[in-house]
A = this chain, B = another copy of it.
Amino acid sequence: MIAEIICVGDELVLGEVLNTNAQFLSKELLSLGINCKKHTIVKDKINDIKYAINNSIKASSFIILTGGLGPTDDDITMQAIAQAFDVDLVLNNDILSEIENFFKVRNIQMPVSNKKQAFIPDGATILNNPVGTAPGIIWEVKKNTFILVFPGVPYEMTEMWNQSAKDYLKNISSENIIIKNLKHFGIPEAKIGEKIKNIMTKDNPHVAPYVDNGTTRIRIKAHSESIEKSKTLLENTEKEILKRTAEYFYGYDNDTLESVVGQLLKDKNLTLSMAESCTGGLISSKLTDISGSSEYIKLNLITYSNEAKVNMINVKEQTLINHGAVSAETAEEMAKGIKQLSGCDIGLGITGIAGPTGGTPEKPVGLVYIGVCNHESLNVYKVQLNSKLPRFKMKTLACDYALNFLRLFLLSS
């Protein structure tokens, strides 16, 4: 079953407010097996809303509207719907009592303009608003075609969705869709695309790669006549993909490199200490985003200056003179030094040129060295990032590389 979402509001179209409603509704619809086909975001203009409705009704069984239900003159979604289907707006006395009551319990006189919110298209069913005055509606406008209308305020919309609309739709929908994301690091989208080219041609399960910085995510979507069969379909495809991509795979859905590293440290009962230079504390911050990270994080240093590297973690002055602060040798000594200082099981040192200045022909902006050691072995990794990345992205990507190398080190040790 197919849905379209129409969000109404000048504030959305002008970019003053980020549209979180469309994302929420798409996800929720999908969890009910209803596939969203399009989002349309229009201003508070009656003709624009009507045009969007008339367009959507051609292809979709569910038209979900948000916004434009307020009491002021620019709130005209109900009028637009009535005009689009050529019905009247009729006063609903149940809604009127609800609105009157909303103000009564707050000891406020109801503004005259709020009466407007009690008018709904003839034939529609009310969706109660547990947290505001604007009611929503659900309306089977023709056989198997439904219009649902929600307030634009995200909190009111989600409450109304959770408390009434969701169950209503669950009863109508009957599809069994499952989605799973496989997350990979260190492989470009195109290369992963080549590896799974023949898997991507199928319609069900549908497989597509997406990229976000260093992470390449493969989304698998399966549907069938039962949830169990959808699961089997999905799992078979997952196995087939991982056969080809396992060396880059690090986790599923909401997993992050830091959550996976944190879990590995916990599972292996290891503590970690880091000396960061170019990432300036970002790796430490990401790892401590995970609740419970105090089990494995005790002490980290940001040794930004050469003096800090020498005085705090015993990087040799001669190493800095001979090889420079951004070198494999310095990264190695940083890893060893911080491990020694902290008494932790694992030491990580990272040094690089975050830019935009500070690069040379031999050591361009984006050059990063990462050292990782435990009590018996030490690895140093070199990465050359795109020198044109903005500083913040450079730090983020250097951090992700470090976390991924750390993950591989933990897996192999």
Asked if A15 and B40 make an inter-chain contact with CB atoms under 8 angstroms apart, the answer reads: no
The answer to whether A209 has its CB under 8 Å from any CB of chain B is: yes
Least Cβ–Cβ distance between A243 and chain B, in angstroms: 19
The answer to whether A37 has its CB under 8 Å from any CB of chain B is: yes
> If A106-B384, A299-B305 touch, does A36 touch B16 (CB 8 Å cutoff)?
no
Query: Which one, B16, B38, B41, B71, contacts A13 given CB within 8 A?
Result: B38
The answer to whether A81 has its CB under 8 Å from any CB of chain B is: no
The answer to whether A204 has its CB under 8 Å from any CB of chain B is: no
Asked if A15 and B10 make an inter-chain contact with CB atoms under 8 angstroms apart, the answer reads: no
Asked if B37 and A13 make an inter-chain contact with CB atoms under 8 angstroms apart, the answer reads: yes
The answer to whether A190 has its CB under 8 Å from any CB of chain B is: yes
Asked if A72 and B189 make an inter-chain contact with CB atoms under 8 angstroms apart, the answer reads: yes
The answer to whether A140 has its CB under 8 Å from any CB of chain B is: no
Least Cβ–Cβ distance between A99 and chain B, in angstroms: 10
Asked if B159 and A390 make an inter-chain contact with CB atoms under 8 angstroms apart, the answer reads: yes
Complex CA gap A35/B71 in Å reads 25
Closest to A194 in B: B111
Asked if A193 and B113 make an inter-chain contact with CB atoms under 8 angstroms apart, the answer reads: yes
> If A70-B211, A390-B155, A395-B289 touch, does A308 touch B298 (CB 8 Å cutoff)?
yes
Complex CA gap A323/B168 in Å reads 45
The answer to whether A386 has its CB under 8 Å from any CB of chain B is: yes
Could you pull out 9 A-B pairs where Cβ atoms are within 8 angstroms?
A10-B208, A13-B37, A14-B26, A16-B208, A17-B210, A38-B48, A112-B194, A113-B193, A299-B312
In the complex, chain B residues whose CB is within 8 Å of the CB of A356:
291
Tallying the copies of this chain within the complex gives: 2
Asked if B288 and A284 make an inter-chain contact with CB atoms under 8 angstroms apart, the answer reads: no
**What 4 A-B pairs are tightest by C-beta distance, nearest first?**
A280-B288, A15-B26, A281-B284, A281-B281
The answer to whether A226 has its CB under 8 Å from any CB of chain B is: no
Least Cβ–Cβ distance between A297 and chain B, in angstroms: 5
The answer to whether A413 has its CB under 8 Å from any CB of chain B is: no
Asked if B190 and A71 make an inter-chain contact with CB atoms under 8 angstroms apart, the answer reads: yes
Q: Considering residues A39, A73, A108, A354, which has the most beta carbons from chain B within 10 angstroms of its beta carbon?
A: A39
The answer to whether A124 has its CB under 8 Å from any CB of chain B is: no
Q: Considering residues A27, A155, A197, which has the most beta carbons from chain B within 10 angstroms of its beta carbon?
A: A155
The answer to whether A86 has its CB under 8 Å from any CB of chain B is: no
Interface string of A134-159 (1 = CB under 8 A from B): 00000000000000000001010001
Closest to A107 in B: B384
Q: Tell me the residues in window 275-315 of chain A with beta carbons closer than 8 Å to chain B beta carbons.
A: 276, 279-285, 287-289, 291-294, 297-305, 307-308, 312
Interface string of A376-413 (1 = CB under 8 A from B): 00000000101011111101000000000000000000
In the complex, chain B residues whose CB is within 8 Å of the CB of A209:
72
Complex CA gap A298/B188 in Å reads 36
In the complex, chain B residues whose CB is within 8 Å of the CB of A41:
22, 38-41
